[in-house]
Amino acid sequence: MKLIVNVMQLLIISALLYPVAYWWETDQITQRCEALTTGMTQDEVSVLTDSFLYNRQIIPQEDNHHWHWQLVSRTSFSGFHCALHGRGNRLAEAHIEENATH
């Protein structure tokens, strides 16, 4: 019985903290994404995203002149992420995407 009470307490606390964690993390990703500007070098982008504590995914491309990265939220079930697209050594575009498949 005590185990059931402890599990229920954990579930209630998690349900209360999740919205705060979701809001904080998606806000941080949005701010970081907005701070990235077109024309930044890949090294500058890497420094900004490396200092960020979230999951940076490098999406492999057949063409070595184009690169795609994502700053992915770990708390979002909807696939909230900042998509980064670059050409050569420069950032071409950074924008927020929210979809179920990333």
- Residue range 15-36: average pLDDT? 90
Helices 42-50 and 2-35: crossing angle in degrees, nearest 10, is 150
| Residue 89 pLDDT grade (very low, low, confident, very high; cuts 50, 70, 90) | confident
Question: What one-character DSSP code corresponds to residue 59?
Answer: E
- What domains can be seen in the chain, in order of their start residue? 2-98 (3.30.1450)
Q: Could you report the per-residue pLDDT of 29-74, keeping only the tens digit for each?
A: 899 899 999 999 988 988 887 766 556 667 766 677 888 888 888 8
Record the pTM: 0.74
What number of CA atoms fall less than 13 Å from residue 50's CA on the CB side? 6
- Residue range 85-92: average pLDDT? 90
